[in-house]
């Protein structure tokens, strides 16, 4: 009886994980417009939501670059011992938007802006 109960609990966990993965696979990149809307949508927490999203985006770009480097692909972002902290994410993002004002359209993904920001500030010296 204990074995059956244990097995059914793991089945439920497996179903939950599968459901999460299915939802995650349907996720899309947030656009610049959506990010701006997120900040305006909640007066008390909107800025925090944006900061968390940008930190996650920055970490995602860095991890993608690290994975590419591990497989032997040339990468565009290299920290090479230089400082990069989560608190710098929003500044990097905003600076990139200002530096290339008129290049980015509102429907472009935030990830593109963050990748370009990081590759400009932390270029690789191949």
Task: Give tens-digit pLDDT for 82-109.
Answer: 999 999 999 999 999 999 999 999 999 9
Whether pLDDT at 115 is above 90: yes
* C-alpha–C-alpha distance, residues 85 and 90, integer Å: 11
What's the pLDDT score for residue 56? 97
Task: Give tens-digit pLDDT for 19-57.
Answer: 444 444 456 899 999 999 999 999 999 999 999 999 999
Select the more confidently predicted residue: 67 or 20: 67
Structural contact between residues 110 and 29, judged by C-beta atoms closer than 8 angstroms? yes
Mean per-residue pLDDT over the chain, rounded:
86
Q: pTM of whole model > 0.75?
A: yes
């Amino acid at each position: 009886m204990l074995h059956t109960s244990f097995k059914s609990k793991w089945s439920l966990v497996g179903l939950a994980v599968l459901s999460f993965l299915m939802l995650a696979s349907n996720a899309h990149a947030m656009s610049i417009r959506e990010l701006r809307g997120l900040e305006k949508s909640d007066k008390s927490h909107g800025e925090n939501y944006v900061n968390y999203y940008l930190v996650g985006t920055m970490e995602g770009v860095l991890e993608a670059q690290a994975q590419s480097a591990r497989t032997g692909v040339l990468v565009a972002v290299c920290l090479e011992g230089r400082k990069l902290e989560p608190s710098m994410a929003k500044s990097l993002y905003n600076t990139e938007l200002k530096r290339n004002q008129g290049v980015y359209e509102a429907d472009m993904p935030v990830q593109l802006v963050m990748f370009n920001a990081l590759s400009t500030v932390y270029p690789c010296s191949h």
